[in-house]
Structure formats: C-alpha cells, structure tokens
Structure 1
C-alpha cells in the first residue's frame, strides 16, 4: 500500500466513488423499472380511470427521483465536499500564518485514496513551512543579537571620542575598538550573505584540479602571527602533493575557518596538529587542537547557524563559520566529522574525493 513516506509502494484508489456505488445505482434503477412494469399491469387489470393510470407512474418515478437525488447528494457531501471544506479551512488558516494545522485522513492507511494522500502531503507541507518559519524567526533573532553588540560598541566609543579631555593614547584605543567592532560587523554580514547564497545555490562551485597540499600550507602560513602571539606549537604532516577537483576559493573558507577555530580555542602554549593523507581515492585532512573541547550536546549543534558553545569566546566570532564549512563540503561532495572531549581538545576530520575518484555525492562514502 502506498503511503506518505513511500508513495510508489502500492496501489492507491484513484476514485472516491467506487464501482460498487454505481452498481447499486444500476441495480436500483433496474428494480424500479421492474416495479414500474408491475404497476402498469396492476392499474390495467383493476381498470382504473385514465387519470389515475397517468398519475401513479408519475408519482412513483417522482418518488424514485427524490430518493436517488437525496442519496446521491448525501454521498457527494460525505465523500467529497466535507473533506474538501476541511482542507480549504486548513489552507486558509495556513495562509494566515497558523502552522499548527493538522488535517486527519479520511480512511485508515490500508484504505487510502488519492484525497488521503493529498491530505498527508498537505500536512507534511505545513510541517515544513512551520519549521522554515521557526528557522526564519530564530535567524532574525540571532542576527539582531549579533549586530546589536558591535553597533553598541561603535556607539559607545564614538561618544567617548567626542569628549574634550582625552589623551592621544585613549583616542587611539577608542578608534581601534571602533575598527574592531566594524570589522566584526562586516564579517557577520559577509558570512550571512555567503551562507545565504550557498544554501540557495546561487553560488555554483567552479570545480578545477588543484593541489590541496599547497593550499593547506598557504592557509597555515596566514596564521603564522597568531601562532607566535599565543606561543602555540604547530605540528604539520602534509603530503608533497594531493590533487583534488573542487572550487579552490570555497575550500579555502573551510581550511581558514578550521584553523581559525583551532587558534581561537587553544590556550597559549598549546598544540595544533594539521595532518593530510591520501587513501583509497580520498583526501583526508585532520585539524586537531589541545583546547577546551566540547561536550556531547555541543557536538550535536556545532554546525548550526549562530551556535557558540564557549560564550567566553563569543566576541571573537559570530557562529557562522562552521555552518559555512558544512555547506561548502556538501557542495564539494565532502564530509566532516567532529571528535571532542571537554578539557582535552577537538579534532575535525574532512574527507574529500581525490581527483579522478568516483564522486558519489554522499560525503565521500561509496
């Protein structure tokens, strides 16, 4: 039997008016015709006058017509009109923003017809719309919250700059704070736009062959000042060359975000390990740190938009980096896994198909 999860698994009744109903109509009309013949014979034998012989068949067929009309009307109302009115009412509620609507099916699942399937599809659609509305509300709330902080910083320090008696050192400090807040706001808006384009596939990955080992080395060098500032130890194990076919600019976002997080969450004097290997047609890149780590709940939500597990570092990011990483890897037929333990650091493992390998579109799993 076909159902909402597997609509092609069986046969769904294609008519709300089964052949048995029309068989009843036919049988009834045939019976009524036979009774009509009997009435004609009866009135002839009883030699009633012409008026009565005329009125009896008319009255008889009038009664038959009324009964059949009422029966047909009842069937149409029960089988078609009432379910459609309920569906129309539910549609109106959804149009007015009520996504808690649920329309029950008319039959049990083993007796579904096309209207039952349509109702279940409607319920699924409403559920998805409700989820989208919730996500949109959360997104607007999160964006507003994230923008509020840097805007408040800019406003406060701008007011301080207007003060008459401030030193050049204070003026420089306030200006640097304003610049930092503006950069954070710019980064937030840029990441929102990138993520929106990626999720709506307005950015089409331009895949080309290139050496990911070279790219990893270049990205690592960009964080050289950050390593030195926090006195971090870098342990890199990267192959001489590893060719992949992907969008180089998009994957640069992946490595930069993973390395940035590793630096951000590793305490001074800690260690960051970057390892890249090739095996069985796949390129594997591992970024590990000895930072604060995450609990099980944080690991479950780490790729959610605006999720920030460690609030002490919340001013250093906007919770969109790993969401971008996840989406880029999905578009690149890649996969990412997280292994972490609180107080012992985190490990991110990225898997990508090597150049020439079969691209399965399921995150590098064949």
Structure 2
C-alpha cells in the first residue's frame, strides 16, 4: 500500500472513530444511571457523570474486577449479558448492590450500564425480616393460647387450675392484642403523609394526656411520674400520633425503672425546636445497644419485655413519628444510672 493510500485509510479510520465517539457520547450522556463505553483494550472511551460519581472509573479504567469480567463476557456473546454484582466503594469499602448489563457496541466497543439497587435490596431485606419477625412474634402468643386452652379442657374438674390457666390465657391474649395494635400504629406512622391534615398542637396538653394514659401502669409498678411542661409551646402535626409516641417513651421509662423510683417528663423550646425529654433512673442501655433500640422488635432486655408484654415496636413508632413531624429522637444513657430520650420537633410557625 502506497503512502497516499495509507494516509487515506488512516483518515477514514480516524473519521470513523470520531463519528463513533460522537454517537457514544450522545448515548452515554442521556443515560440517567451509570454508563460506560470501553474500547477493545478496555479503556474507557466515555463515561456518564453517574459512572464517575459512582466510582466505577479511575484513570480511564474500570476499577471493579467483576465489571471487567462482565465486559469480557459481552465481547464474545451474541447478545447483552446481565449480572447482579456486589461492589465495594469509597474509603469505607461500603457494599453496594448493582444491576450490571453489558453489550457490544460496534465492532470493538462495549457499552456497560450499571444501576444501583442498594436501596431496593435493603428495602427487600427489611420487608423479609419484618415478615419473619411478625410471624415469630404472632406465633408465640397464639401457640401459648392454644396450649392453655387444651390445659383448661384437661383440668375441667379442677377449678383452681382452670382459674390459673384462664389467667395465663388472658395475659397472652392481651399480649397478642398489644402486638396487633402496635403493628397497626407502626403501619400508619410509616406510611403517613401529614401534608395539610395537621392541627395546631399544644405540647403541654399532649404530654398531660400521655402521662394520664400511663397512670395505671405507673401505679402498678410504684413509679412516680413528674411532669413539668413549659406552657405555650405548639407544633403542627397529628395529635394522636404525637401523643402515642410520647406515651410510648413514658411507658418505656416506667417499665425499665426500678419500683419506687421516679420518671421525669419535661418540655422546653430551644431555638425554634420543641424538646420533650423523658428521664428515668432505671437500668440504662449499654452503648453497644443504643444504635439498635429503634429497630422493629428489638429489645434490650427480652426477659423484662416478656414480663411486661412489650412488643419491641414502641421506639420504632416513636422514631417514625418524629421523622413525620420533621424531627428526631436523641438518647443519652448510662448503664446503672438511667436514660433520657429527647423527642425534638420544630415549633409551629406563628407568622402564618
């Protein structure tokens, strides 16, 4: 081949490559997820902003071996190849779950599309765990009620044993009723959208209501509940949802306190934030447990929960209620000293 012919071929190849780059750029730029185009040497020709942000590319190379293997499989495949891949990203090597698809693009190029499925994976895991937990929690009292019913039938000629088994059955049925009620409440607060369906709530009144709802429990456990609420602090929200959350915090403080001790409930306004603090001098929560106590069905002291009929859902309801009202829940606790839960929500805008 002569020099002129060689120059002409080179120009044609360069022109073809530039045309391809233009097409590749246009395709990748409109991809909402992470998209990468690689040449025959696995050099990155084009990467979408999502691919860069996701940390797929460094120095024009794919940095995840699993994705490189997928690209190599696509080169010898007649169609697109797909695989669910677990990647490690960032300095902390956090795991992310992705849906990766690769297909040949032209003669020597491969297009790789990566969609982040981490959130959907976590939601699915949460849903599966939730169903498993609910099944387990329901099975326990239902099974106990069945056994107690059989025991009552077998002890029909012994009134004292019938009375004993009937009392146990009543306790288990109450535990079942509490669980169902709190599952309904949790379902409501998780799916709640307050929007315009809110009212102005006087927090002092809500606290008084929540304390009153725990009056019988406090008497039974010989716990004194002392309330000191700063008047005039108002928020916008759902009154029943909010009162239930405060009641749950007070109930927890009573249950995990020693008989004869005191639970304090306070309210104050700090820089536009209403803070409701519930303090006890009970058993306290180990530091290793504090991050998990707002999880569904998690119990710091399972034996005490069984004794009191606790479901492990109360604090999860509190957390979601705070989030629904644009707030948060803070915890300070020391083992053997006690705990303080602070429910924090923005106060009502008085200008409107």
Tell me, yes or no, whether TM beats 0.5: yes
- Per-residue Cα deviation, 1:146-186 (whole angstroms, up to 9, x for no partner): 11210122012111211245544443332232222122222
Question: Aligned pair 1:157/2:148, yes or no?
Answer: yes
- Per-residue Cα deviation, 1:198-247 (whole angstroms, up to 9, x for no partner): 33447768311121101111221222222222222323211233222111
Write out aligned runs for 1:282-297 (5 A): 282-297=273-288
Note the C-alpha offset of 1:274: 0.6
Question: Aligned pair 1:185/2:176, yes or no?
Answer: yes
1:90 equivalent in structure 2: 83
User: How far apart, in 1, do the equivalents of 2:251 and 2:82 lie?
Assistant: 52
User: How far apart, in 2, do the equivalents of 1:21 and 1:168 lie?
Assistant: 99
2:210 equivalent in structure 1: 219
User: How far apart, in 2, do the equivalents of 1:151 and 1:308 lie?
Assistant: 20
Give the structure with the higher percent strand.
2
Unaligned segments of structure 1, at least 5 residues? 1-18, 28-70, 72-77, 93-98, 107-112, 359-366
Asked if the contact 1:304/1:323 (under 8 Å) is kept, the reply is: yes
2:343 equivalent in structure 1: 350
SS at match of 1:319: coil
* TM-score normalised to structure 1 length: 0.65
User: How far apart, in 2, do the equivalents of 1:267 and 1:147 lie?
Assistant: 29
Asked if the contact 1:293/1:345 (under 8 Å) is kept, the reply is: yes
Asked if the contact 1:197/1:203 (under 8 Å) is kept, the reply is: no
* TM-score normalised to structure 2 length: 0.68
User: How far apart, in 1, do the equivalents of 2:165 and 2:278 lie?
Assistant: 36
User: How far apart, in 2, do the equivalents of 1:355 and 1:274 lie?
Assistant: 21
Q: 1:91 to 1:165 in 2, by over 3 A?
A: closer
User: How far apart, in 1, do the equivalents of 2:325 and 2:180 lie?
Assistant: 24
User: How far apart, in 2, do the equivalents of 1:191 and 1:83 lie?
Assistant: 56
User: How far apart, in 1, do the equivalents of 2:175 and 2:77 lie?
Assistant: 53
1:75 equivalent in structure 2: none
Asked if the contact 1:262/1:291 (under 8 Å) is kept, the reply is: yes
Q: 1:290 to 1:205 in 2, by over 3 A?
A: farther
User: How far apart, in 2, do the equivalents of 1:326 and 1:83 lie?
Assistant: 52
Asked if the contact 1:281/1:357 (under 8 Å) is kept, the reply is: no
Question: Aligned pair 1:340/2:340, yes or no?
Answer: no
User: How far apart, in 2, do the equivalents of 1:20 and 1:203 lie?
Assistant: 63
User: Which of the numbers 248, 272, 281 marks the counterpart of 2:272?
Assistant: 281
1:318 equivalent in structure 2: 311
Q: 1:83 to 1:260 in 2, by over 3 A?
A: farther
User: How far apart, in 1, do the equivalents of 2:18 and 2:219 lie?
Assistant: 93
User: How far apart, in 2, do the equivalents of 1:253 and 1:174 lie?
Assistant: 32
2:241 equivalent in structure 1: 250
Q: 1:194 to 1:87 in 2, by over 3 A?
A: farther
- Per-residue Cα deviation, 1:294-332 (whole angstroms, up to 9, x for no partner): 111210101111111112223121111111111111011
User: Which of the numbers 17, 23, 26 marks the counterpart of 2:15?
Assistant: 23
2:120 equivalent in structure 1: 129
Note the C-alpha offset of 1:85: 7.3
1:330 equivalent in structure 2: 323
2:263 equivalent in structure 1: 272
SS at match of 2:331: strand
- Per-residue Cα deviation, 1:25-75 (whole angstroms, up to 9, x for no partner): 799xxxxxxxxxxxxxxxxxxxxxxxxxxxxxxxxxxxxxxxxxxx9xxxx
SS at match of 2:260: coil
Question: Aligned pair 1:199/2:190, yes or no?
Answer: yes
Give the structure with the higher percent helix.
1
Note the C-alpha offset of 1:357: 6.3
1:305 equivalent in structure 2: 296
User: How far apart, in 2, do the equivalents of 1:101 and 1:352 lie?
Assistant: 36
User: How far apart, in 2, do the equivalents of 1:207 and 1:114 lie?
Assistant: 54
SS at match of 1:213: helix
